[in-house]
Structure 1
């Protein structure tokens, strides 16, 4: 029970990596809070997680939603021990067709939302707390059609490093998790035609040193490590969970 009685907030905890992590954190003794943009999906995820899990419909790119979220958590629990900033979106497009609307959508969710969630959560966090940020292998690799997405994830990676420098004096550790291609529902939302999705997954697997793509459970285990005291002497890292894609 590595997170016994810890209060853990997971943004984007209603599906994929976030949901897998919420289930594992709950199993390890945490009181889990998840967020997602659609109430029905959040409510279904809470039932799936079980235990004392609760959920809030909250858009991580909306500052009013962020303020309301932390006001509710303060009233319910008074603190946050683990903050996993996982909510994000992925859209892959050639740079020639990227619109300002798309640029702002990715930037607001994948970077601005991370920063202000961390800022608003900070008054509820004490010595020994942990912040984890989902980055991406795309932050390190110049992949076609990922110009804006990759840049927002590079910003997220730098945020994990700079916030770590800011918050270590408070005894709060900040680290990133950098997934490679992971088989989650987000694969259906990135702009790849459904009929080409299996072929794309096979391509990702063929390019990976392990010759496969990862699972949400594998990312969840890395998140548990960074959330728990097992990583008590680790700060500012970007833990690559990518089958060696960015390391070999």
Structure 2
């Protein structure tokens, strides 16, 4: 199964799609599964398809050996003349984000690696933070080491922070947080906590992120399909 590790040095690509109808989400997943199951690209490591839960959409979490391998894929006729036209037809927005993993943390109950696969049944949340070029590193630190207190939040399983390197259909500097929770209910309770219920560390951390982020948005997902090279 794919895993997230700061030791792997993979290029992580998050292809995020939104749509306006559940049936279009189903079609997106079908199209993604076809691509993942047929993948045999030079430098491709793994793909993990996610179905939107909070709002209709999909996410494909893809690991590549290098940016050069990814650009060769983007330059291919199949990507330009079949994949992008099909996705453009059934989506309301597309963001293709290239990232490097810089931090990952797990609850002690989650073992020694951050794994992503359907059998785990994680409630997964992907949050995008935009920031200024000069504040990107500080924001990453605030989202990573600055949130060690998350391990004490009920239902928390893991969170991984990615530095945005470049993107298609997203301008400016950004960071991504990929987090795993035991259930939708535990994540909703975490988000709904009143200030009086939060620890001092959490209040300070959230204030720091708020000061550094210029925009942020998120969706929750369920992992529905995954495949690694060689499988």
If the length of structure 1 is used for normalisation, what is the TM-score? 0.29
* Structure with more contact order per residue of length (Cα contacts < 8 Å, sep ≥ 6): 2
The TM-score with structure 2 as length reference comes to 0.30
Between Structure 1 and Structure 2, the one with more strand by share is 2
